[in-house]
């Protein structure tokens, strides 16, 4: 058994529903055995209960559950920073040409390596990632994630219209390629992934329906209600659907294992049905601002009891940092038409446990309850950094967490563990 000694924060309960959801230990201990959390508490009591454990002294830094990115695109690493577009122009001019390059196996493999390295460097231990439109590239992502030890959920991205011809699949090929990937990498990490209703005909959505029906343990992920122009086009393409969500509902794709990105412009009926079906929204505030999509109506989601977690939406977003994403959620909700002041506990929850709940793995990861995977990020700001100065003398857990969300980047990520194994370790 190993004990990591440092300040520890986690949110085993939902701070939008429960008071005192934040659990913190100023001098904490995380005891790890066989890759799992054996104990989490005050150092003095954990050390006393496990006198033979090897102690690693990490005081001066902060241990948080590993971040969980509920929406990110593997083929878009190299288009980060493409500012100045709205969603549909951005797709056509920047994103789809780059995604087409992943037909090249060697290029796809190098992008997969870059992608998993970037997630790890930012402290992300689990992600629901859009794969590629190409089966080979999607396989390269699963392989890179396995090699790196990251917990990646993904799937072949399915589309058959209105993108670029080389990104379209015939429905029978989409079905066959998806089945092969599910067999090769197993159903537990697979997500059925039509790109969005805009680029998916009824034939492709029927393929998705068949895949989910044959294997109900699969996740389902796609986009919804992102930009005004997109929503208008989807209404035109599916004239019989009452709203955007109804397009997916008609193919039985919305349930407790569905994660839908954005939902910036939902109607009230959609919110009610999302709540009733137990689906989760991946909220991506950096992307929503960068693409000018709008401000996520968080208060309406809370009032309707719709679940939501955080996603970076690389490359529509502005990078892989889940701390930055949490800060952006905070900033945008401050100026939303129905403003919310997110608490530090809520920001931490959205970046960790809410993602585990979205992927239905909250019994495995997302906080430090006994028996869960030892998935963690150790933050330690560089000496003499602005953040190190801010943290000096701070004792309130809320103030410390708020400072970390505001100022910590990759330079503050000291170590990242998945299942107790270090996938990043910068301590010398
Ligand atoms: Zn996206």
pLDDT tens for each residue of 114-166: 999 999 999 999 999 999 999 999 999 999 999 999 999 999 999 999 999 99
pLDDT band at 77; cut points 50, 70, 90? very high
Mean pLDDT of 412-425: 97
Q: Residue 48: what are its φ and ψ, rounded to 5°?
A: -65, -40
**Which tokens go with 403?**
């400072």
- Look up residue 19 and give its DSSP letter: T
State the Rg of the chain over Cα: 21
Q: Is the pLDDT of residue 175 over 90?
A: yes
- For the CA atoms of 70, 65, 409, 339, what is the dihedral angle to 10 degrees? 60
Specify the pLDDT at position 214.
97
pLDDT digits (tens, 9 = 90+) for 342-362: 999 999 999 999 999 999 999
Q: How far apart are CA 392 and CA 374, in angstroms?
A: 28
44 burial type by CB count under 10 A (0-12 exposed, 13-18 middle, 19+ buried):
exposed
Residue found by looking up tokens 């680029």 in the block = 199
Question: Which helix (H) or strand (E) element contains residue 26?
Answer: strand 23-33
Specify the pLDDT at position 28.
98
210 burial type by CB count under 10 A (0-12 exposed, 13-18 middle, 19+ buried):
middle
Specify the pLDDT at position 242.
98
- For residue 226, the CA-to-ligand 1 centroid distance in Å is 9
- For residue 232, the CA-to-ligand 1 centroid distance in Å is 18
Which is it for strands 124-130 and 307-310: parallel, antiparallel or unpaired? Answer: unpaired
Please say whether the beta carbons of 367 and 12 come within 8 A.
yes
- For residue 130, the CA-to-ligand 1 centroid distance in Å is 8
pLDDT digits (tens, 9 = 90+) for 8-44: 999 999 999 999 999 999 999 999 999 999 999 999 9
- For residue 209, the CA-to-ligand 1 centroid distance in Å is 21
- For residue 344, the CA-to-ligand 1 centroid distance in Å is 25
- For residue 71, the CA-to-ligand 1 centroid distance in Å is 6
Q: How far apart are CA 247 and CA 228, in angstroms?
A: 16
Q: How far apart are CA 270 and CA 276, in angstroms?
A: 10
- Pick from 272, 372, 365, 286: nearest CA to 331: 286
- For residue 195, the CA-to-ligand 1 centroid distance in Å is 8
The alpha helices in 279-395, defined as continuous H runs, are: 285-290, 298-304, 322-334, 344-351, 353-358, 386-391
To the nearest whole number, what is the mean pLDDT of the chain? 97
- For residue 76, the CA-to-ligand 1 centroid distance in Å is 10
**Which tokens go with 406?**
């505001």
Helix, strand or coil for residue 242?
A: coil
- For the CA atoms of 368, 187, 122, 59, what is the dihedral angle to 10 degrees? 20
- For residue 67, the CA-to-ligand 1 centroid distance in Å is 18
- For residue 54, the CA-to-ligand 1 centroid distance in Å is 43
- For residue 319, the CA-to-ligand 1 centroid distance in Å is 13
- For residue 261, the CA-to-ligand 1 centroid distance in Å is 6
Q: How far apart are CA 226 and CA 234, in angstroms?
A: 11
- Bridge partners, residue 280, by sequence: 259, 307
- For residue 196, the CA-to-ligand 1 centroid distance in Å is 9
Residue 99 CB-half CA count within 13 A: 30
- For residue 380, the CA-to-ligand 1 centroid distance in Å is 30
Q: Provide, rounded to the nearest whole percent, the portion of the chain with pLDDT above 90.
A: 99
- Pick from 92, 106, 65: nearest CA to 199: 92
Q: Is the pLDDT of residue 427 over 90?
A: no
- For residue 309, the CA-to-ligand 1 centroid distance in Å is 14
Q: How far apart are CA 52 and CA 273, in angstroms?
A: 53
Residue found by looking up tokens 């809520």 in the block = 346
- For residue 314, the CA-to-ligand 1 centroid distance in Å is 7
Task: Concatenate the DSSP letters of all residues of 333-345 into one string.
Answer: HHTSSS-----HH
- Pick from 405, 318, 403: nearest CA to 123: 405
Specify the pLDDT at position 155.
98
pLDDT band at 393; cut points 50, 70, 90? confident
pLDDT digits (tens, 9 = 90+) for 213-262: 999 999 999 999 999 999 999 999 999 999 999 999 999 999 999 999 99
pLDDT band at 69; cut points 50, 70, 90? very high
- For residue 93, the CA-to-ligand 1 centroid distance in Å is 16
Mean pLDDT of 319-329: 98
Count the neighbouring beta carbons within 10 Å of the beta carbon of residue 99: 26
Q: How far apart are CA 409 and CA 399, in angstroms?
A: 17
- For residue 246, the CA-to-ligand 1 centroid distance in Å is 20
Which is it for strands 124-130 and 67-73: parallel, antiparallel or unpaired? Answer: parallel
Which is it for strands 191-194 and 157-158: parallel, antiparallel or unpaired? Answer: parallel
- For residue 12, the CA-to-ligand 1 centroid distance in Å is 28
pLDDT band at 181; cut points 50, 70, 90? very high
- For residue 188, the CA-to-ligand 1 centroid distance in Å is 22
- Look up residue 94 and give its DSSP letter: I
- For residue 26, the CA-to-ligand 1 centroid distance in Å is 37
- For residue 397, the CA-to-ligand 1 centroid distance in Å is 33
- For residue 373, the CA-to-ligand 1 centroid distance in Å is 27
226 burial type by CB count under 10 A (0-12 exposed, 13-18 middle, 19+ buried):
buried
Please say whether the beta carbons of 143 and 186 come within 8 A.
no
């Amino acid at each position: 058994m190993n004990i990591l000694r440092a300040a520890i924060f986690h949110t085993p309960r939902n701070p939008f529903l429960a008071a005192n959801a934040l659990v913190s230990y100023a001098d904490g201990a995380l005891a790890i055995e066989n890759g799992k959390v054996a104990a989490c508490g005050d150092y003095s009591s954990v050390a006393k209960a496990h006198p033979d454990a090897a102690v690693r002294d990490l005081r001066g830094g902060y241990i948080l559950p590993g971040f969980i990115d509920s929406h990110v695109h593997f083929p878009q690493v190299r288009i980060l920073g493409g500012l100045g577009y709205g969603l549909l122009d951005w797709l056509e001019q920047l994103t789809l040409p780059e995604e087409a390059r992943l037909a090249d196996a060697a290029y796809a493999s190098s992008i997969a390596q870059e992608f998993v390295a970037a997630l790890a460097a930012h402290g992300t231990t689990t992600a629901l990632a859009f794969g590629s439109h190409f089966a080979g590239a999607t396989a390269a992502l699963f392989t890179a994630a396995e090699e790196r030890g990251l917990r990646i959920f993904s799937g072949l991205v399915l589309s058959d219209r209105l993108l670029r011809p080389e990104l379209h699949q015939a429905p029978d090929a989409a079905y066959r390629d998806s089945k092969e990937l599910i067999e090769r990498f197993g159903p537990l990490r697979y997500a059925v992934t039509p790109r969005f209703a805009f680029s998916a005909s009824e034939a492709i959505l029927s393929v998705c329906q068949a895949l989910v029906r044959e294997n109900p343990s699969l996740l389902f992920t796609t986009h919804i209600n992102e930009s005004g122009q997109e929503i208008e086009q989807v209404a035109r393409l599916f004239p019989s659907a009452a709203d955007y969500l109804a397009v997916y509902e008609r193919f039985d794709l919305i349930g407790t294992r569905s994660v839908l990105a954005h939902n910036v412009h939902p109607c009230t009926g959609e919110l009610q049905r999302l709540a009733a079906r137990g689906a989760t929204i991946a909220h991506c505030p950096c992307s929503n601002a960068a693409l000018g999509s709008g401000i996520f109506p968080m208060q309406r989601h809370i009032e309707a009891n719709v679940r939501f977690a955080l996603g970076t939406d690389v490359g529509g977003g502005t990078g892989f940092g889940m701390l930055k994403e949490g800060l952006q959620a905070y900033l945008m909700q401050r100026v939303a038409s129905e403003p919310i002041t997110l608490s530090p506990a809520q920001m931490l929850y959205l970046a960790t446990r809410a993602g585990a709940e979205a992927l239905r793995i909250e019994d495995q990861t997302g906080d430090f309850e006994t028996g869960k995977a030892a998935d963690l990020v150790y933050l330690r700001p560089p000496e003499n950094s602005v953040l190190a100065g801010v943290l000096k003398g701070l004792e309130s857990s809320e103030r410390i967490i708020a400072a970390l969300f505001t100022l910590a980047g990759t330079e503050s990520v000291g170590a990242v563990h998945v299942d107790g194994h270090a996938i990043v370790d910068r301590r010398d």
